[in-house]
Structure 1
Amino acid sequence: MKVLMFGWEFPPHISGGLGTASYGLTKGLAHYDDVNVLFVVPKAYGDEDRSAVDGIIGAGDVPITRKQVSFEDLQKKVEYFEVDSSLIPYVGEEEFYRLTQQKVNSRSRFIQTDSQGRLPFTGKYGSDLLQEIARYAVVADVIAQENEFDLIHAHDWLAYPAGIAAKKASGKPLVIHVHATDFDRSGGSVNPNVYAIEREGMEVADKVITVSNLTRNIVIEKYGIDPAKVVTVYNAVEPVERTPRLGVNKGVDEKIVTFLGRITMQKGPEYFIEAAHQVLRRMDNVRFVMAGSGDMMNKMVKRAAQLGITDRFHFTGFLKGDDVFDMFRLSDVYVMPSVSEPFGISPLEAMMSDVPVIISKQSGVAEILTHAIKVDFWDINAMADAIYSILQYPALPKMFKKHGRIEVDHLQWRHSAAHVRQVYLSALGQSNNNSNA
């Protein structure tokens, strides 16, 4: 089956978990001979990794003037998107911090093509985001007319309008992939424009994939979507070699406990600091590290100072690439105290690095991990006790390292892709009992 897949970014040009998950899924689907993916992004750079896809299409490279486009419907959508809004999408720590520092004063603009009939795209998450989403939908209509495919797959709310436009132009089934909802990103104070986009995508889709049952329940309860068409497919990780990097040295003869992620309300950094304070009252041969950046950074620095733990608490700033795994290799415990986490890939990466993990019960990844300590994000006493126990009793981290590595080794993208493939077949009204892997 040929899949027309709409995303927002593709390696090596990614800034957050959405691009990582989209890429991992395409690599997983490449294991199946009967699935071929044509991946569309707003802006293609030419150096994308095409090993797992049939091709990459940049919406900015597609002329629209020589095709019949349903502007009656799309013009309404364009007008709808033309609002002044400071939106924070599904991005990484560095991009999130940059966006939250922006002060935007934008005015609505009409869609205008260049001399070759192409629309402009940055492929970024700037002040023009909603306008780019609208342009993406216009071009998706043309792409759907020009290509042969059996099914459409749209990743997250940024690509839902494009998926809808492609479905209207082709009549082919639409599968949308909910990596997060605005309830997760905003802490419940949803942006009504984003909510409307998300809900329309869910209602128009033939199948809705969610990354956890936590997210599935939100889709059903908060968006009123029929449970029969909502399917959970968990995220995964790519296996890595178990070889330590040379030159990674703690520099101190102390234990290290790490928080790694956006320093924002959604990730629960304040609970990590309060738990650290409790642990430091019971033992002194430990240091705490908050790796990342975000809009709560200054508040967290001030809170650490108020508690008098700055000599044992370190802020590294944003980490990426090999620096992330170097941080894991230095760590004795990894803590993810997220208030609302649709899934959460970082605990899996920590476990691949042989680091025991403590995760909040309010995370999607808690649904599938057995060899991890799970606490409520707000229960700083339980969090502190868990950290203290792992640091003080050697048998505990030894057990978590041994069994955690075995567990995470089975959570690979090819297995998640098998479930997605079944969703495709269901959307197409087919059934299949045999795998072509």
Structure 2
Amino acid sequence: MKILVLSWEFPPRIVGGIARHVGELYPELVKLGHSVYLITPEFGEAPLYEEVEGIKIHRVPVAQSHDFFHWIVNMNQSMGKQGGKLMSEEGQFDLIHAHDWLVGDAAIALKHTFKVPLIATIHATESGRHNGIHNQTQSYIHRKENKLAFEAWRVIVCTNYMRLEIERSLHSPWDKIDVIYNGIRPEKKQHHQQFHKQDFRRQFAEDYEKIVYYVGRMTYEKGIFLLLNAAPKVLLEMGGKVKFVIIGGGNTDRLKKQAWDLGIWDRCYFTGFMADEYLDKFQTIADCAVFPSLYEPFGIVALESFAAGVPVVVSNTGGFPEVVQHTRTGVVTYVNNPDSLAWGILEVLKNHGYCQWLKDNAYEDLEKRFNWAKIGKQTERVYQQVVKERKLVNW
């Protein structure tokens, strides 16, 4: 099969989880014998064309704009132009695969121009992020999501939770939606250059302190404020011997003020953005990863912690309870409940044997349920179904 993929992020441009998803899924489809052409915006010094693990990557220039939505319009125009050129010059394509609403306009235009079926992977919804649609900006995005879901031959989502959400929020028929989990390459977390762990650890905490961390975006839906609210109870139970490390770029002023007001400022370390190579080292010396999200379609951060060998505490929102099996591969706590979160963290910090049990089970689960080779074959089956159905249709 010849597949055209549209994604607004792809390494080295990493905004959220889509870049890693796209970057790790399509090499598996190349291994299965398919030709993959990917269109994405230009970024920094990355070449406008290159092949990465067999994927033919076309980075397109996008006219700059101070307004994000105008930039998205410009991006779709560039993607549509490049997609049209490829589909005209490279012979018949079998499928177009769009990742989220941001590339929807280009994908839909190419679908109708060339009469090629469109598959959409919807990684999250605006309604889910904000617990409903409350203003014009959210309404605009919601309409774009609706249109993409409607125009898609099939919709792929990452959890059963998201399947329910797409059916309810975007009114997609249940039997049009396929659930295919995200994956991870655990070996990426296992090869570390030699470094002195104790000296490295002392950048973040004293030798006698446990390290509890969050890594991700600094947005309300990630629930970082709940971790800070849980911290005093954890510190009380642990005799103050815990350091809370908050990792990620973005505005943390409100969170820093919260830490100060709670009297735990000296127990917190806001690192800002941390590069992957540095984060890989950090995870080898951490004691507990906490992801207290209010909304989480999947939670690939949990898989990254599984791979790094860090015990995980999450909230029971969205896809987390599917990804993290409570008391087997991690601890699942009640969403928006700092007392429950504190309990989960203490379960990990106080029980060394239990921690090792969680870590061993979690790493084993990566091969069973989150292996990219298996995910590639599941995606291929969806592709094959669509191609077969397309042959029966007089467009």
Corresponding residue for 1:130? Answer: 72
Corresponding residue for 1:57? Answer: 58
Q: CA deviation at 1:138?
A: 4.0
Pair 1:229–1:40, CA change in 2 (3 A): same
Q: Which deviates more from structure 2 when the two are superposed, residues 44-53 or residues 259-268? A: 44-53
The answer as to 2:146 corresponding to 1:145 is no
Q: Which deviates more from structure 2 when the two are superposed, residues 10-19 or residues 299-308? A: 10-19
Indicate the SS of the match to 2:244: strand
The one of 375, 384, 387 aligned to 1:425: 384
Q: Which deviates more from structure 2 when the two are superposed, residues 360-369 or residues 313-322? A: 360-369
Corresponding residue for 1:286? Answer: 242
Q: CA deviation at 1:39?
A: 1.0
Pair 1:47–1:204, CA change in 2 (3 A): closer
Q: Which deviates more from structure 2 when the two are superposed, residues 405-414 or residues 184-193? A: 184-193
Indicate the SS of the match to 1:311: helix
Work out the CA distance in 2 between the residues paired with 1:424 and 1:236.
18
Contact 2:50-2:58 at 8 Å conserved across structures: no
Work out the CA distance in 1 between the residues paired with 2:100 and 2:6.
9
The one of 403, 408, 412 aligned to 2:371: 412
Q: CA deviation at 1:244?
A: 4.5
Contact 2:48-2:60 at 8 Å conserved across structures: no
Query: After superposition, where does 1:87-126 map in structure 2 within 5 Å?
Result: 120-121=62-63, 126=68
Query: After superposition, where does 1:256-275 map in structure 2 within 5 Å?
Result: 256-275=211-230
Contact 1:137-1:161 at 8 Å conserved across structures: no
Q: CA deviation at 1:32?
A: 0.7
Indicate the SS of the match to 2:265: coil
Q: Which deviates more from structure 2 when the two are superposed, residues 386-395 or residues 404-413? A: 404-413
The one of 218, 222, 228 aligned to 2:169: 222
Q: CA deviation at 1:141?
A: 4.1
Work out the CA distance in 2 between the residues paired with 1:243 and 1:42.
31
Corresponding residue for 1:327? Answer: 282
Could you list the per-position Cα deviations for residues 140-172 of structure 1 after superposition, in whole angstroms to 9, with x for gaps in the alignment?
A: 444433332111111111111111111101111
Q: CA deviation at 1:187?
A: 4.4
Work out the CA distance in 2 between the residues paired with 1:11 and 1:58.
11
Contact 2:99-2:123 at 8 Å conserved across structures: yes
Contact 1:41-1:123 at 8 Å conserved across structures: no
Contact 1:184-1:340 at 8 Å conserved across structures: yes
Structure 2 residue runs without a partner (length 5+): 391-395
Pair 1:244–1:133, CA change in 2 (3 A): closer
Pair 1:415–1:123, CA change in 2 (3 A): farther
Corresponding residue for 1:13? Answer: 13
Structure 1 residue runs without a partner (length 5+): 61-119, 432-437
Could you list the per-position Cα deviations for residues 373-416 of structure 1 after superposition, in whole angstroms to 9, with x for gaps in the alignment?
A: 11122122221111112111211111112222211244222211
Indicate the SS of the match to 2:4: strand
Work out the CA distance in 2 between the residues paired with 1:184 and 1:52.
34
Q: CA deviation at 1:47?
A: 6.8
The one of 343, 349, 368 aligned to 1:391: 349
Corresponding residue for 1:82? Answer: none
* TM-score with structure 2 setting the length: 0.87
Indicate the SS of the match to 1:50: strand
Work out the CA distance in 2 between the residues paired with 1:390 and 1:48.
46
Work out the CA distance in 2 between the residues paired with 1:230 and 1:188.
21
Counterpart amino acid of residue 301 in structure 1 = K
Pair 1:428–1:235, CA change in 2 (3 A): same
Q: CA deviation at 1:209?
A: 0.4
The answer as to 2:335 corresponding to 1:377 is yes
Contact 2:213-2:245 at 8 Å conserved across structures: yes
Contact 2:10-2:18 at 8 Å conserved across structures: no
Indicate the SS of the match to 1:10: coil
Could you list the per-position Cα deviations for residues 337-396 of structure 1 after superposition, in whole angstroms to 9, with x for gaps in the alignment?
A: 111111111111111111100112113243133311111221222211111121112111
Counterpart amino acid of residue 338 in structure 1 = S
Q: Which has the higher contact order (CA 8 A, sep 6+)?
A: 1
Pair 1:422–1:123, CA change in 2 (3 A): farther
Corresponding residue for 1:40? Answer: 39
Corresponding residue for 1:304? Answer: 259
Counterpart amino acid of residue 201 in structure 2 = K
Pair 1:422–1:134, CA change in 2 (3 A): same
The answer as to 2:114 corresponding to 1:170 is yes
Corresponding residue for 1:76? Answer: none
Work out the CA distance in 2 between the residues paired with 1:160 and 1:416.
23
Identity of matched residues, %: 28
Q: CA deviation at 1:23?
A: 0.7
Pair 1:135–1:48, CA change in 2 (3 A): closer
Q: CA deviation at 1:311?
A: 1.3
Work out the CA distance in 1 between the residues paired with 2:17 and 2:29.
18
Structure holding more helix per residue: 2
Pair 1:215–1:137, CA change in 2 (3 A): same
Pair 1:291–1:224, CA change in 2 (3 A): same
Corresponding residue for 2:273? Answer: 318
Corresponding residue for 2:393? Answer: none
Could you list the per-position Cα deviations for residues 33-64 of structure 1 after superposition, in whole angstroms to 9, with x for gaps in the alignment?
A: 2x22111123374276623335222344xxxx
* TM-score with structure 1 setting the length: 0.79
